């Protein structure tokens, strides 16, 4: 891969940690530490994305080479590169956590291809100065989840990091999945992920918390220069514009999460990308029955801070932390506060439009908010699968009766026997309104359905699907990883041969670890 166009902008333009020993420590006055990946004992490629490889300038043939496995498992370092771990801090579950940093992520380098820049990062390639008491490794289970989900999100149209490769390390990793004193060995794995950069809100928070204001200014300038070059003007104006841009991008990302039913699970500020892309796939999950209070993360089951319905508010809270860390460069609270306030009002109006598009409605009405609230309360009367409900709206025709429309979506009900009496009446009332709205639209059924099918996915990575792929992979059968990867490349298409994945979560998965309950142990 000698032809790769290597860049090291982050490490050449920003202050490095002069200490190159790989020891856990507080690292001051710097943004990163040089660190070499740990050599894996027997790396084996499970899967690589041809599309992501091409994106960064690697050919399909090169994927098959020994060099590819060696480079993306950390066994071999590309010439002209010097891997590094980033130093950042963050708020975890609402509390200031101080220095965190890349504890098990190692950035290999940046590459340029077709005038685009990408950072290539290994996750699970061994300890760094930021590993604290942990081992710097990742298990196959969580690596499959990250690998598949990032690509599924990309094809759903959700801003995200990408996955280049999934490689077994050949080493065993000890994990206590449920944190209940039952640790067991699992297979280790390494994912190479790709993004414009892996800079987080917590990267800025760290500099301000330590009062490293010169570095803060340099770092914000670095971000603007390379990632937001359209931002120009006086320094203060530029920094405000920077904050506004990050807020806008974050808002768009959350809107997509709410559209497809994705729950991140750990929206700590160290897991929020400055690019507004979904990053750090841990105990994430997909809503099956529509429940705004649901979170897949067992670590958060008490407070449910990161529940589905709270994601916009948490994003705003996280942006508030970013605003605080930019404040020393701006010294004026009001314009920052204004941006934060408009985050929620803008989100709410975008949300209404987004749900209307899921319903296939192009024209807004005065009672939109009420109409949507009514729908969302109905969706919670009896367990109703979010994905199936929205997708099956494409079976409804304008000329249908409310009763017929309700029948069109009945596959979405987990307990169809509950759809009677008041629950049924509520649905019939809502469908009566809905059909009236459809009949007021100028679009034909066909046109509407086309729009709906482009925003209501047919296939998402349901938690139990990922778990089935994990269980098989544990027995060295990777066919399901490949099958799901291919399926999720076309989430909006009808794929008749894969109809079995357009189904409600099976009963056995209701309370199985990995399906409805996940921990941060990864
Ligand atoms: P996360 O919740 O996965 O985003 O991780 C929070 C922090 O813990 C980050 O600084 C991670 O790098 C670090 N971390 C998580 N797992 C490990 C691990 N196995 N070894 C070292 N650091 C880790
Ligand atoms: Mg993280």
Ligand-binding annotation for 200, yes or no, is yes
SS3 (DSSP) at 46: strand
> pLDDT band at residue 47, thresholds of 50, 70 and 90?
very high
Q: What is the pLDDT of residues 273-308, one digit of tens each?
A: 999 999 999 999 999 999 999 999 999 999 999 999
Percent above pLDDT 90 for the chain: 96
Closest CA to 274 of 308, 248, 256, 255: 248
392 is annotated as contributing to ligand binding: no
- Per DSSP bridges, beta strands 105-113 and 95-99 are unpaired
The set of residues, in sequence order, having a beta carbon less than 8 Å from that of 206 and lying 6+ positions away, is 87, 88, 89, 90, 99, 212
Protein residue with least CA distance to atom 23, ligand 1: 103
pLDDT at residue 516, as a whole number: 77
Contact 50/82 with Cβ under 8 angstroms? no
The two three-digit tokens of residue 476, written as one number: 């060295």
Confidence of residue 514 (pLDDT cuts 50, 70, 90): confident
Question: Annotated binding residue at 61?
Answer: no
Of 127, 24, 36, 21, the C-alpha closest to 82 is 36
pLDDT beyond 90 at 515: no
Residue 510 has which token pair? 């209701």
Q: What are phi and psi of 211, to 5 degrees?
A: 60, 35
Q: Are strands 105-113 and 5-7 parallel, antiparallel or unpaired?
A: antiparallel
Question: 17, 171, 270, 300: which one is catalytic?
Answer: 270
Alpha helices in 331-462 (DSSP H): 333-358, 368-378, 386-392, 402-408, 421-440, 445-455
Nearest CA to ligand 1 atom 11: 103
User: Is 385 a residue of the active site?
Assistant: no
State pLDDT tens for residues 430-442.
999 999 999 999 9
Q: Which of 335, 331, 297, 332 is nearest to 314 (CA)?
A: 297
Going from the Cα of 450 to the center of ligand 1, the distance in angstroms, rounded, reads: 42
Count of CB atoms situated within 10 Å of the CB of 231:
17
- CA distance to 71, 381, 424, per residue, from 433 (Å): 58, 18, 14
pLDDT value of position 300: 93
Question: What's residue 146's pLDDT?
Answer: 98
| Mutational pocket test of ligand 1: of 23, 25, 104, the residue with most ligand atoms within 8 Å of the beta carbon | 104
Is 288 close to ligand 1, i.e. is its CB under 6 Å away?
no
pLDDT at 447: 97
Distance between Cα 105 and ligand 1 center (Å) = 8
Q: Is 496 helix (H, G, I), strand (E, B) or coil?
A: helix
What's the per-residue H, E or C state across 114-138?
CCEEEEEEEECECCCCCCCCCCCEC
Report CA(522)–ligand 1 centroid distance (Å): 9
Q: Is 136 annotated as a binding residue?
A: yes
- Pocket of ligand 1 contains residue 131 by CB under 6 Å: yes
Nearest CA to 515 out of 442, 461, 472 is that of: 461
For ligand 1, whether the C-beta of 137 sits within 6 Å is yes
The answer on pLDDT for 444 being more than 90 is yes
Which residues neighbour ligand 2 (ion) by CB within 5 Å? 271, 280
- Cβ of 136 less than 6 Å from ligand 1: yes
């Amino acid at each position: 891969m000698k032809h790769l166009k290597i860049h090291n902008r982050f490490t050449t333009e920003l202050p490095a940690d002069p200490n190159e020993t790989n020891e856990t420590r507080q690292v001051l006055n710097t943004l990163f530490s040089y660190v070499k990946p740990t050599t894996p004992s027997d790396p084996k490629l499970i899967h690589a994305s041809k599309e992501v490889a091409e994106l960064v300038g690697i050919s399909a043939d090169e994927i098959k080479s020994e060099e590819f496995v060696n480079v993306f498992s950390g066994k071999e370092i590309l010439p002209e590169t010097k891997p590094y771990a980033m130093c950042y801090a963050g708020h975890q579950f609402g509390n200031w956590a101080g220095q965190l940093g890349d504890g098990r992520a190692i950035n290999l380098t940046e590459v340029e291809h077709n005038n685009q820049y990408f950072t290539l990062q290994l996750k699970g390639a061994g300890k760094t100065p930021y590993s604290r008491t942990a081992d710097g490794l990742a298990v196959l289970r969580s690596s499959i989840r990250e690998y598949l989900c990032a690509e599924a999100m990309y094809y759903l149209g959700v801003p995200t990091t990408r996955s280049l490769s999934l490689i077994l390390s050949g080493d065993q990793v000890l994990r206590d999945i449920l944190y209940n004193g039952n640790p067991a060995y699992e297979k280790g794995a390494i994912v190479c992920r790709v993004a414009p950069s892996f800079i987080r809100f917590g990267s800025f928070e760290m500099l301000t918390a330590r009062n490293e204001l010169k570095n803060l200014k340099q770092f914000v300038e670095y971000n603007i220069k390379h990632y937001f070059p359209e931002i120009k003007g006086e320094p203060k104006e530029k920094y405000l514009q920077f904050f506004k841009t990050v807020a806008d991008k974050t808002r768009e990302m959350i809107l997509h999460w709410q559209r497809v039913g994705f729950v991140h699970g750990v929206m700590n500020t160290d897991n929020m990308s400055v690019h507004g892309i979904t990053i750090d796939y841990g105990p994430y999950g997909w809503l099956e029955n529509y429940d705004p209070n649901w979170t897949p993360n067992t670590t958060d089951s008490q407070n449910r801070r990161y529940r589905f319905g709270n994601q916009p508010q948490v994003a705003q809270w996280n942006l508030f932390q970013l605003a605080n860390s930019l404040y020393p460069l701006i010294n004026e609270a009001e314009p920052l506060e204004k941006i934060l306030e408009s985050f929620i009002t803008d989100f709410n109006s975008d949300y209404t439009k987004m749900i209307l598009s899921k319903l296939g409605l192009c024209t807004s009405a005065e009672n939109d908010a009420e109409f949507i609230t009514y729908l969302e309360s109905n969706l919670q009367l009896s367990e109703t699968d979010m994905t199936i409900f929205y997708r099956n709206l494409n079976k409804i025709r304008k000329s249908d009766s409310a009763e017929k429309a309700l029948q069109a979506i009945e596959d979405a009900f987990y307990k169809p026997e509950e759809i009677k009496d008041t629950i049924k009446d509520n649905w019939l009332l809502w469908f009566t309104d809905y059909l009236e709205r459809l009949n007021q639209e100028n679009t034909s059924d066909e046109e509407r359905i086309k729009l709906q099918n482009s925003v209501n996915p047919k296939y998402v990575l349901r938690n139990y699907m990922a778990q089935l792929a994990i269980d098989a992979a544990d027995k060295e059968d990777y066919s399901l990883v490949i099958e799901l990867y291919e399926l999720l490349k076309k989430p909006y298409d009808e794929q008749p041969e894969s109809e079995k994945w357009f189904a409600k979560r099976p009963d056995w998965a209701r309370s199985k670890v990995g399906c409805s309950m996940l921990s941060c142990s990864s």
